Structure 1
Amino acid sequence: MPNDQFDLIVIGGGPGGYVAAIRAAQLGMRTALVEREHLGGICLNWGCIPTKSLLRCSEIAHILHNLDLYCFTAKDISFDLKGIVTRSRDIAKQLSTGITHLLNKNNITVIDGHGKLAGISQNLRKISVSKNGKLVKDYCAKHVILATGARANTLPGVTPNGKNILTYKEAMSPDTMPKKLLIIGSGAIGMEFASFYNDMGVEVTVIESIDRILHAEDTEISAFAMQQFIKQGIKIYTSVNLHQLMVSGSGYNAEIELSGNKKILEVDRVLLAVGIIGNVENIGLESTKVKVEKSHVVTNEWLDTGEPGVYAIGDLVGPPWLAHKASHEAVLCVEKIAGLGGLCPINTRMIPNCTYTRPQIASIGLTEAEAKETRSKLNIGRFPCVGNGKAIILGQQEGIVKTIFSAKTGELLGAHMIGAEVTELIHSYGVAMNLETTEAELMHTIFPHPTLSEMIHESVLHAYGRAIHF
């Protein structure tokens, strides 16, 4: 096979792209990966990883300012902002380097540049790779996976400038801390940054156009979270219309409408956290049968697009916009291309959501409202974190674990958690749902003591009137 010809070419080296390339290589395909900037994509370089590094620092800041809870005292507590940002960048760099090693280990050809579909040549897909706007080389492959990801959305009249109107990318590498920060949008990204900046001493205000924050979560969890954030000092306004953003000195005056009344918010910086849009431009879709809806590529359950031999995965194909979803799609797509049997399409309800605020939030499956739409009767169990010994020991006893079952069949329909380290617990529900576990198996599972995981057991027991500690 010529050096410029492959079984599979993957365009985009994020958590979907590089995983697809590795799995393809494992299955014996000659594979190339085209990446124009950083291996690991947005998630590793400017998303999941560095933001969690920042949030770890803000958690420590919170502990240091509340040392009396643990019978310690400290004076003159301060932080090195440049060091905090550098640490997050170094962690991202370390992991990106690790991906380079994995790709080399699997004999994957990494092509530096911007890849795009460029027609068909001798029954093979042609991919043109350019660098700095100039064509470098053309490559061919039997199959092409598009994994170009997505980018931050914007609002009319609110244009990011990299200085005081920010997207997530600028927000995670500040040179100074603002005194007052306005966050537009209360999804996972918005609330994670609200949690970080608030714990670092910034006066944070969040505005949301709908009637609650974290709208993807169960309404009970969303309401509990809002109470906690307000208690921590974050100002939150829901059902708000942003009329205009006006320059005021070195900052801004945001005019909002709340319950029919206008209000002016004076802030130093503004962070846009209003969702993302797919990177569908300049990847050669125009002359293909690939369909695009609302900035995302349309695929079937096997990640096929409308163009034979062209597939799409990850954020490019729409919600949920999660790295672990992209990686799972990558494996499924490649294994389907390879002709492996026994494959199952992804059930998006089985994908866990995690938000790394303080307290953390995690969920999987149906919300209570969704479950009521399809089931006539439910058994719902709840257990408060304040009843768990480990949560009290950690000094993080604010939270709740909620488990939803079908009363008729015992099917585990969903689980919703807010509290200490719940992002490390939600996978237990995922395993249970994947194994089609009912309440009986969960009740008979022995959970170690003292651990946070005991809250799962107690929540299940509570759903059937058998809770011991609640």
Structure 2
Amino acid sequence: MPDTYDLVVLGSGPGGYVAAIRAAQLGLKTAIVERERLGGICLNWGCIPTKALLRTSEIYHYITHADAYGLSVEKPSFDLAKVVDRSRKVAGQLNAGVKGLMKKNKITVVEGVGTLAGKGKLSVKQGDQTVELQARDIIIATGARARDLPFAKADGQRIWTYRDAMVPKEMPSKLLVIGSGAIGVEFASFYNDMGADVTIVEMLDRILPVEDAEVSDFMAKALTKQGIKLLTKASIEKLETTAGGVNAALKTADGKTETAEYSHVIVAIGIVPNTENIGLEELGVQTEKGHIKTDGFGRTGVEGVWAIGDVTGAPWLAHKASHEGVIAAEAIAQARGNKDVHPHPMNKANIPGCTYSRPQVASVGLTEAKAKEAGYALKVGKFPFIGNGKAIALGEAEGFIKTVFDAKTGELLGAHMVGAEVTELIQGYVVARTMETTEAELMETVFAHPTLSEMMHESVLSAYGRALHF
């Protein structure tokens, strides 16, 4: 007889394990199936360990520039193995934390490879054995994996995915990063600060192409100033591993092909959803370009089958997955008669995006260009870090905050930031958009002094010609 549950979650990343916890809180007997480690890619191989690495490179940058703060440090150096070990220990600590949360919430953890085996059925392969699970509802939260170049698959030695780049056995001397999204820029920033000679190649006309154009331009100048070489409107024609590195043929913006030798290459050209071989086709679950099609609550077109997170499409962000997990769990509970939950469909326009490079980038809502395309009349404000006392005191006076408002209604259409700690600041604007705040409430809000957050206030004031400190 199969083990029976109210809900089974396939995948324990930030979407899956949060969905399981919320379901358990709502009284549903819940199981979660994981083939590798609890916490998924984000906790074990993505969001968390990369931030541990970036924290190391940030501190190393400050040490090597200690003189700017009146300090003296002689011959700073680092131990790459210890840097990686710290990152892995951080991931390990949080993995243990998720295990504790599963136990606390009485969620059954089933290790193995899960496959949909029919309506309300999940088959879990555990080595030579198979465990059968049964549930009225199943949430698919299988996530995604790094996309390979079709002509040069990652080998873990010279050509790396993000997983390889997190556990390097040696420090790259000359590094090529293919792709300038958040992952590519973060790794470029880390390795550049640690002393590597870094080049970024991007097919589009600017780096961080999903960000506001002014932010992209600022980042291009900042990274170039740090010594990173940027090649936009460029593509990789060929990669060949050699005894000492990788020979790359690059097609540049002028249409010419040039070759260069690199010690290592990081491929950061996007992701592939993990939708193969999990039984979707047999049940009739629809996909589009590999991603599972869902409504705003995580429902697929098949009754009792739900999907959340990276497997459902952009934006491929942990916090989006977690929020979808809560929505789906509450929608399932509501469908079972729980009158105390009132889930709202996911509003992707209020999902913040963050890049944890140096400097950091953060945004929410429409860029200025997208707002214009949508037909809005705009009021746009911008305030520079150089006008903020706290930023100057920190020695972090480069960057700006930009706000975009509907000129007719005062609606905050978007906010875009580049500079120190903006990944923390952005949440203020996310809350404002979620509460449907206008410029009036933001202007009347008191911001503590001295803080970086004062720039948020000044940017709003600037949009209406009222900036006080610039």
Please report the TM-score for the alignment, with normalisation by the length of structure 2.
0.97
Residue segments in structure 2 that go unaligned for 5+ positions in a row: none
- What is the distance in 1 between the residues matched to 2:235 and 2:275? 29
What per-residue deviation string (whole Å, max 9, x for no partner) do you get for residues 61-117 of structure 1? 111111111011111211111111010100111011011111101111100111110
Cα shift at 1:131:
2.1
Matches for 1:349-360 after TM superposition, within 5 Å: 349-360=349-360
Secondary structure at the aligned position of 2:176 is classed as strand
Cα shift at 1:38:
0.5
- What is the distance in 1 between the residues matched to 2:201 and 2:235? 9
Aligned to 1:115: 114
Cα shift at 1:136:
2.2
- What is the distance in 1 between the residues matched to 2:270 and 2:302? 28
Aligned to 1:244: 238
Cα shift at 1:444:
0.6
The equivalent position to 1:299 in structure 2, one of 277, 291, 294, is 294
- What is the distance in 1 between the residues matched to 2:260 and 2:354? 30
43-52 vs 301-310, which deviates more? 301-310
What per-residue deviation string (whole Å, max 9, x for no partner) do you get for residues 221-254 of structure 1? 0111111000000001000021111334321221
Secondary structure at the aligned position of 1:154 is classed as coil
303-312 vs 458-467, which deviates more? 303-312
| Residue 290 (str. 1) matches residue 289 (str. 2) | no
224-233 vs 341-350, which deviates more? 341-350
| Residue 314 (str. 1) matches residue 309 (str. 2) | yes
Aligned to 2:331: 336
Secondary structure at the aligned position of 1:160 is classed as coil
- What is the distance in 2 between the residues matched to 1:193 and 1:221? 18
- Maintained 8 Å contact 1:375/1:406: no
Aligned to 1:327: 322
Secondary structure at the aligned position of 1:221 is classed as helix
Matches for 1:191-202 after TM superposition, within 5 Å: 191-202=185-196
Aligned to 1:155: 149
- What is the distance in 2 between the residues matched to 1:87 and 1:215? 32
| Residue 174 (str. 1) matches residue 168 (str. 2) | yes
Cα shift at 1:295:
1.6
Q: State the percentage of identical aligned residues.
A: 57
Secondary structure at the aligned position of 1:181 is classed as strand
Cα shift at 1:300:
1.2
Cα shift at 1:255:
1.0
Aligned to 1:105: 104
271-280 vs 249-258, which deviates more? 249-258
- What is the distance in 1 between the residues matched to 2:260 and 2:445? 52
Aligned to 2:140: 146
- What is the distance in 1 between the residues matched to 2:375 and 2:431? 22
- Maintained 8 Å contact 1:128/1:135: no
What per-residue deviation string (whole Å, max 9, x for no partner) do you get for residues 170-213 of structure 1? 00111110110101000000000000000000000010111111
Aligned to 1:22: 21
Aligned to 1:52: 51
| Residue 457 (str. 1) matches residue 451 (str. 2) | no
| Residue 370 (str. 1) matches residue 350 (str. 2) | no
Aligned to 1:85: 84
Secondary structure at the aligned position of 1:82 is classed as helix
Aligned letter for 2:206?
R
- What is the distance in 2 between the residues matched to 1:242 and 1:89? 31
- What is the distance in 2 between the residues matched to 1:247 and 1:148? 32
- What is the distance in 2 between the residues matched to 1:44 and 1:247? 31
Aligned letter for 2:122?
I
- What is the distance in 2 between the residues matched to 1:277 and 1:3? 32
Cα shift at 1:154:
1.1
| Residue 428 (str. 1) matches residue 428 (str. 2) | yes
Aligned to 1:254: 248
315-324 vs 261-270, which deviates more? 261-270
- What is the distance in 2 between the residues matched to 1:97 and 1:342? 32
- What is the distance in 2 between the residues matched to 1:65 and 1:270? 26
Aligned to 1:4: 3
Secondary structure at the aligned position of 2:282 is classed as coil
Aligned letter for 1:89?
R
RMSD of aligned Cα (Å) = 1.1
- What is the distance in 1 between the residues matched to 2:61 and 2:445? 35
Aligned letter for 1:427?
Q
Aligned letter for 2:293?
V
Aligned residues: 464
Aligned letter for 1:252?
V
Cα shift at 1:3:
7.4
Secondary structure at the aligned position of 2:451 is classed as coil
Please report the TM-score for the alignment, with normalisation by the length of structure 1.
0.97
- What is the distance in 1 between the residues matched to 2:263 and 2:430? 42
- What is the distance in 1 between the residues matched to 2:40 and 2:468? 46
Aligned to 2:42: 43
- What is the distance in 2 between the residues matched to 1:252 and 1:344? 49
What per-residue deviation string (whole Å, max 9, x for no partner) do you get for residues 112-170 of structure 1? 111110013xxxx11100023x3421110010000000000011211100101000000
- Maintained 8 Å contact 2:9/2:16: yes
